[in-house]
């Protein structure tokens, strides 16, 4: 059975992003909410590993955007980053095996 990275991202990462967006909405933080909602839409619409890689690159940039996040939101962002990094590592291993 072949690993489906887009399906995995939708099952493991997308729900966390949706929770994050809801928390940011509750905290009235529209700029980070919109940023992470855009990443959620990108993962939802991802067709392949390349689409995921682009979304993960955007996600990794969140640390450099200067968002002032609450502790619960920061913990959730860290969890999302951990999941996306693990999936990116799996994708890079698969790419190495192919070449």
The residue range of the domain holding 57 is 5-98
Tens of pLDDT, residue by residue over 3-54, are 788 898 999 999 999 999 999 999 999 999 999 999 999 999 999 888 898 9
Q: Is the pLDDT reported for residue 79 higher than 80? A: yes
88 neighbors 56 (Cβ within 8 angstroms): yes
Distance from C-alpha of 50 to C-alpha of 80, rounded to nearest angstrom: 18
When pLDDT is cut at 50, 70 and 90, the band that residue 97 belongs to is low
- For residue 1, the model assigns a pLDDT of 59
Contact 44, 10 (CB under 8 A): yes
Q: How many domains does the chain have?
A: 1
pTM for the model stands at 0.87
């Amino acid at each position: 059975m072949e690993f489906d990275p887009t399906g995995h991202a939708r099952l493991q990462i997308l729900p966390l992003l949706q929770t994050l967006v809801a928390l940011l909405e509750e905290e009235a933080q529209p700029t980070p909410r919109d940023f992470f909602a855009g990443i959620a839409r990108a993962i939802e619409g991802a067709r392949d590993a390349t689409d995921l890689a682009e979304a993960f690159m955007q996600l990794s940039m969140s640390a450099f955007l200067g968002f002032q996040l609450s502790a619960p939101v920061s913990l959730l962002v860290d969890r999302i980053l951990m999941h996306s990094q693990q999936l990116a590592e799996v994708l890079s291993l698969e790419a190495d095996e192919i070449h």
